[in-house]
Amino acid sequence: MSEYTRPVVTAVDASVSHLHENPYDIARDQLRRVADAFDIDGNLVDVLEKCKKAVEVSIPVAMDDGSTRVFTGYRVTHNIARGPSKGGIRYHPNVTLDEIKALAMSMTWKCALMGIPFGGSKGGVIVDPKTLSRGEVERMTRRYTSEIINEIGPERDIPAPDVGTDASVMAWIFDTYSMNKGHSVLGVVTGKPLSIGGSLGREEASARSGLFCIRDAVAKQGGRLDEMRVAVQGFGSVGSSLAKFLHEEGAKVVAVSDTTVALHDPSGIDITAAIAHKRKSGSLRGLSGVDTIAPDELFALDVDILAPCALEQAITERNAERVRASIVCEGANDPVTPAADAILEEKGVLVLPDLLVNAGAVVVSYFEWVQGLQEYFWKEAEVNAKLNDIVSRAFEETWGVAEERGVTMRTAAYGLGVRRVAEATLTRGIYP
């Protein structure tokens, strides 16, 4: 027998998707509806609905057991009319190219709505990071970075964390990129650890912007936050932090869920204990003093605020009719489908769109990028105050347009974002 042993190489396929509809089709349909409502020229829409660049890469990784697995990754840039593109990287087994395109497009409108000088991008790898060791995730990240290294950069395209990625992943991208350039490049990614140029306030920024939007919406409706009952679907970084903030403001969080279990206590869940339990055990399962309910039951609970903070298309036409909340706060990206949106509107539910609610992450990412370029870092109170100013201003602008035109908050938010990108495109012109 030959002394040479052929290595085992396995290609990794996508699993069955959680998506009920094609997200890129939804994003393009949304753009065209908004363009009609805001009288945006059809020629511009033809430009804006296309992604500038989409790259697919193969990522071979040496596994701990000596085998080699080959993952598929993507990086998509939607638009750079207002500045370099900005968008997260997600590691998830259901990642698709069309999903990444849709998320990149959404980032373009979100950045424009917030008034920050970025376009939209997104990246992803088809992988379940929970099934890999830390070393395997690091090696995969570094190879993925090497494959897209010509697509990213502080003045080109700036990644950040998303579903399945965190500050450690950003550190590996930062280091890989910097080693290839021969010097540290702080602005190549955001969401980095504080020890290597991260920003205070970044980790909880999405949840904090969600809190600001809920606070302002409740005030607009003449209510009080400390009288609200809340259900939070998804207990990752955004969901757990939003639950904590709402609990601290006096709201009663009566239900939470993660990928393993949904929990309910009508008298209110101890969010501090839930976060500690999740941190220790890795899931909410086993938390004492609460009832276990079916995951779909969470959407039908008698609450004032429902916050879907997990993945896309959580609320569809199949369960939207059962929603009893008066406010739906989109902590996740695209958690409500268009069909569900129409049902909720008919029911009189106020939907606070993701463009507003979870924009805190990209706003504080912008702050981190600025701090990295200046090599001068701000105090957390300053970061949070600036975030409050930007999100509250965007909320007021969106609320004003919604009232003036008689449209939903989603249509108003998209209209403001799309109109600003269209204006930038017209101002710059088309080269050559």
The pLDDT value given to residue 312:
86
Domain residues for the domain of 298 are: 205-357
pLDDT over 90 percentage in the chain: 93
DSSP assignment of 96-108 equals -HHHHHHHHHHHH
* 211 in the same domain as 178: no
> Can you tell me the mean pLDDT for 398-407?
97
Q: Please report whether residue 394 resides in a domain.
A: no
CATH of the domain at 99: 3.40.50.10860
* 319 in the same domain as 271: yes
Q: Please report whether residue 1 resides in a domain.
A: no
The DSSP secondary-structure symbol of 63 reads -
Q: Please report whether residue 191 resides in a domain.
A: no
User: Total structural domains in the chain?
Assistant: 2
Helices 360-374 and 380-405 pack at an angle, to 10 degrees, of: 140
* 318 in the same domain as 233: yes
CATH of the domain at 213: 3.40.50.720
Q: Please report whether residue 318 resides in a domain.
A: yes
Q: Could you say which of 183, 215, 248 is where a domain stops? A: 183
E strand or H helix that includes residue 188: none
Torsion on CA atoms 304, 19, 411, 211, rounded to nearest 10: 40
Q: Could you say which of 342, 357, 372 is where a domain stops? A: 357
The catalytic position among 101, 110, 122, 192 is 122
- Write out pLDDT tens, residues 62-104: 999 999 999 999 999 999 999 999 999 999 999 999 999 999 9
Q: Please report whether residue 111 resides in a domain.
A: yes
Q: Please report whether residue 286 resides in a domain.
A: yes
pLDDT range class, residue 5, cuts 50, 70, 90: very low
* 165 in the same domain as 218: no
* 312 in the same domain as 234: yes
Q: Could you say which of 336, 357, 378 is where a domain stops? A: 357
Give just the sign of the alpha carbon dihedral 390, 383, 158, 258.
negative
- Write out pLDDT tens, residues 174-191: 999 999 999 999 999 999
> Can you tell me the mean pLDDT for 15-33?
83
Rounded to whole angstroms, how far apart are CA atoms 219 and 263? 28
DSSP assignment of 290-354 equals SEEE-GGGGGGS--SEEEE-SSS--B-TTTGGG---SEEE--SSS-B-HHHHHHHHHTT-EEE-H
Q: Please report whether residue 417 resides in a domain.
A: no
53 is catalytic: no
Q: Please report whether residue 209 resides in a domain.
A: yes
* 255 in the same domain as 325: yes
Instruction: Indicate the SS3 state at residue 373.
Output: helix
The pLDDT value given to residue 311:
83
Instruction: Indicate the SS3 state at residue 387.
Output: helix
